[in-house]
Amino acid sequence: MTDNMTENLIEKDVTSEQAVEQQNDIATEDKVMKKKDIDAVSKKQTVGKVFVQIGLYVFLGIMALVVLFPFYWMLISSLKTLDEYNANVPTLWPHQFKWSNYTVAFDTDGLNLGRLFLNTCIVGIVSTILSLIVTVLSAYAFARLEFKGKNVLFAALLATMMIPGELFTITNYITVSDLGWTNTYTVLIVPFLVSVFYIYLLRQNFLQIPNELYLAAKVDGSSDLKYLWKVMIPLSAPTLISITILKMMGSWNSYIWPRLVARDTAHTLITVGLRGASFVDQATNMTDFPAQMAAVVIVTIPLLLVFLFFRKYIMRGVSRSGLKG
């Protein structure tokens, strides 16, 4: 009896051990299957990310070609001969580099590039400096000073951004005509010194500067102008740099307003002068498009260099949200 009981116990132990082993085997198989499934999903996700990245770079590459091709065509066209430019089959690379097109561009009748560059630089530099002064003082007043009607006045300024620019052009033209400012540097500089967008952009930047700095400066006896010059302007340098660059580029590219109010040679800007110049070849009585392209390249290079060297300041100033602390 005892031996039978012992044998039964041994058999039960063996059976239980086998059951445990089977359960362990099943659990191990489940873990292996889950790991394989996870690995398969990870591989699929990795492959999907790779294809998404490839598609993204292909799309960006195509868009870059679409954007850059007109500049490339302008550059190579400025180096072609007139016959090659007028050929039935366009060429993507000049067969013969004609650098004299740039000399012709400077010597074209009715296009004094030197004078046009000087006029544009005078208007651009003076208007940018005066606009910066107006923008900084206005933004500081709306950000830090307390006076009655401040919020209402600022809201009214923002409301003017909803008015189409053409309406300002019409009213400004009537005003400067009545004042006798046409064909002067004044008419090219004064009407657009105030930019509500620049004031709003700089005001938001000023508001992010901790007010404790202003209170500490007042305790030390600093005036508002000294605090503005010593604290606010240095801390807002990226935004001011971006405003300076954007304002200068806007003055350089301006066309409609200078075309209306400054038609004499002494005050013509480069965009207007380039549009009105005659690039007719006297020998063939045909428009010399390569020389015209050369003049466009000369006008484009300054803005292109400004953008290439200062693009990070433009992006940093526009996207700047303020200071932490």
For 92-123, write each residue's pLDDT tens digit: 888 888 888 888 777 776 677 788 888 888 99
For the residues of 269-303, what is the DSSP string, one character each?
A: -HHHHHHH---EETTTTEE-HHHHHHHHHHHHHHH
Two tokens at 32?
């292996």
Amino acid at 85: Y
Q: How high is the mean pLDDT of the chain?
A: 80
Convert the pLDDT of each residue in 169-186 to its tens digit: 888 888 888 888 888 889
Measured CA to CA, the distance from residue 50 to residue 296 in angstroms comes to 42
Residues forming beta bridges with residue 287, ordered by sequence position: 280
* Among 305, 196, 292, CA closest to 252: 305
Residue 205, burial from CB neighbour count under 10 angstroms (0-12, 13-18, 19+):
buried
Beta bridge partners of residue 53, listed in sequence order = none
Closest by CA position to 318, among listed 233, 239, 225: 239
Distance, in Å, from the CA atom of 85 to the CA atom of 288, rounded to the nearest integer, reads: 9
Q: What percent of the chain has pLDDT over 70?
A: 80
Q: Does the structure show a pLDDT above 50 at 285?
A: yes
Determine the Cα–Cα distance for residues 47 and 56; give it in Å rounded to an integer: 14
Q: For residues 282 and 286, give the distance between their C-alpha atoms in angstroms, rounded to a whole number.
A: 8
CA Rg, the chain, in Å?
Answer: 35
Distance CA(163)–CA(171), nearest Å, equals: 12
Q: pLDDT tens across 24-79, in order?
A: 556 565 665 666 667 666 777 777 788 888 989 999 999 999 988 988 999 998 88
Q: What pLDDT was estimated at residue 325? A: 36
Helical packing angle, 237-253 and 113-144, nearest 10°: 140
65 vs 63: CA distance, rounded Å: 5
Tell me the three state secondary structure of residue 97.
coil
Run of H or E including 186? helix 185-189
